[in-house]
Amino acid sequence: MLVLRHGRIAVRLEWRSVVVCAVLALAAAGVAVLALMTGSYQLGPGQVVSALTGGETGLVHDIVVEWRLPRVAAALVFGAALGVSGAVFQSILRNPLADPGIIGFSQGSYTGALIVILVVNGTYWQLVGGALVGGMATALAVYLLAHRRGVQGFRLIIVGIGVSAMLDSLNTWLILKAELEQAMAAAAWGAGSLNGVSWDRVVIGGACIAVFLLMAAMLSRPMRQMELGDDAAASQGVRVSPVRLGLIAVGVALTATVTAASGPIAFISLLAPQIARRLARTAGITLAPAALVGALLCLAADYIAQHIAPTPLPVGIITVMLGGGYLGRLLFTEARRRL
């Protein structure tokens, strides 16, 4: 146990968590340098580091700082946000497979985005607005439809499946009716893509995410207490209902920001907390390792997506495949052990 003290404030940290976090951060930094080096104009690690510290001017500076860095920063920040969002959902629903997709958020924001892209033919910021409105409206509709003297987990999942299926059909219909080129652009957004991110988008999205992450960190202690059960937490002075509502709001807001900025990037919010828990060997869900695993996953997946095919692919395609594979391995070993 590591205890940091500064005046009246003290932070207690598990040694293993600290080491795991440090290793994850180093790994993410390594992949980031690799991503900044690679492209149609190859650079060496020395050039990248000196460009980042302001030692380069001209072309090298532009390539690293203006072209490649926004994308790397977006992958790191969005990945961290997705990791924390998943951790929050898995903790409050006490279900290791929970993620914000359950309440139809991704399908709803895709519908909103499709309407903006295909019907209104709007700008990037209209797209962000459409995705947010679509996602939020869907989540609210699912919550209300599942509400019948309180919301019960099973009912929420089934209503989520039903509403998602309808929106999936609507999305298919919109794609089917659109011009081919527009439809493909929309489908690339729908797969979750970091193509074309620029500094202004990263800064605005990142600022929102920073605020939400701070809120999540403030709620993390009562969240850990609530993992022991509502009654146990209440007896320790946690006000259970407002804390839970706050956590849901933060979790949805984090996913919403990422989805609005880059489309629904699948599986990171589901995988990151799982991997983090196994690495840090903590009993419950911890936010910091989940954030770092999310950032590393997203960055690595985006690196693969950019360089595996002649044309860059949406990062979401890689996360789906990685996610399916990892989930398969995980579930298999557990299912077989139980049988």
Taking the complex as a whole, the smallest distance from the CB of residue 162 to other proteins amounts, in Å, to 4
Minimum distance of other proteins from residue 147's CB (angstroms): 9
- Do residues 238 and 69 make contact, with C-beta atoms less than 8 angstroms apart? no
Q: Please, which residue, 116 or 318, has the CB nearer to other proteins?
A: 318
User: Considering the complex, what minimum distance in angstroms separates the CB of residue 167 from other proteins?
Assistant: 9
Other beta carbons within 10 Å of 49: 14
- With CA atoms as reference, report the closest residue to 157 among 227, 65, 78, 89: 89
Question: Using the 8-state DSSP alphabet, how is residue 147 labeled?
Answer: B
Tokens of 27: 């790994």
Distance of alpha carbon 298 from alpha carbon 31, whole angstroms = 11
Q: Of 273 and 323, which has the nearer Cβ to other proteins?
A: 323
What does the angle CA 237 – CA 241 – CA 244 come to, to the nearest 5 degrees? 100
Residue 39 or 162: the one with the smaller Cβ distance to other proteins is 162
Closest contact distance (angstroms) between CB of 27 and other proteins is: 23
Judged by CB, which is closer to other proteins: 199, or 326? Answer: 326
Give 227-232's long-range contacts (Cβ < 8 A, gap of 24+): 227/91, 227/94, 227/284, 227/285
Give least dist CB 173 to other proteins, A.
5
Query: Which ranges of 38-192 would DSSP assign to H, the alpha helix?
Result: 45-52, 58-61, 69-92, 105-114, 124-145, 153-177, 180-191
Nearer to other proteins, 172 or 235 (CB): 172
* Residues binding other proteins (CB under 8 A): 145, 148, 154-155, 158-159, 161-163, 165-166, 168-170, 172-173, 175-176, 180-181, 183-184, 187-188, 191, 267, 309-311, 313-314, 317-318, 320-321, 323-325, 327-328, 331-332, 335-336, 339
Residue (23 or 158) nearer to other proteins, CB = 158
Burial (CB < 10 A; 0-12, 13-18, 19+), residue 302, is buried
Q: In this complex, which beta carbon is closest to other proteins, that of residue 169 or of residue 236? A: 169
Q: How far is the CB of 106 from other proteins (least distance, A)?
A: 14
CB of 254 to other proteins, least distance (A): 22
Provide, rounded to whole angstroms, the least separation between the CB of residue 113 and other proteins: 16
User: What does the alpha-carbon distance between residue 95 and residue 152 come to, in Å, rounded to a whole number?
Assistant: 13
If one counts every other C-beta atom within 10 angstroms of the C-beta of residue 239, the result is: 11
| Nearer to other proteins (CB atom), residue 159 or residue 243 | 159
Q: Distance of CA 186 to CAs 106, 182, 190, Å?
A: 14, 6, 6
Which residue, 113 or 219, has its beta carbon nearer to other proteins?
A: 113
Q: Residue 32's closest CA among 84, 80, 99, 104?
A: 80
**Smallest distance, other proteins to C-beta of residue 310, A:** 7
The CA–CA distances, whole Å, from 208 to 41, 78, 92, 163, 179 equal 33, 11, 22, 28, 34
- Residue whose pair of structure tokens reads 């939400």 in the numeric block: 212
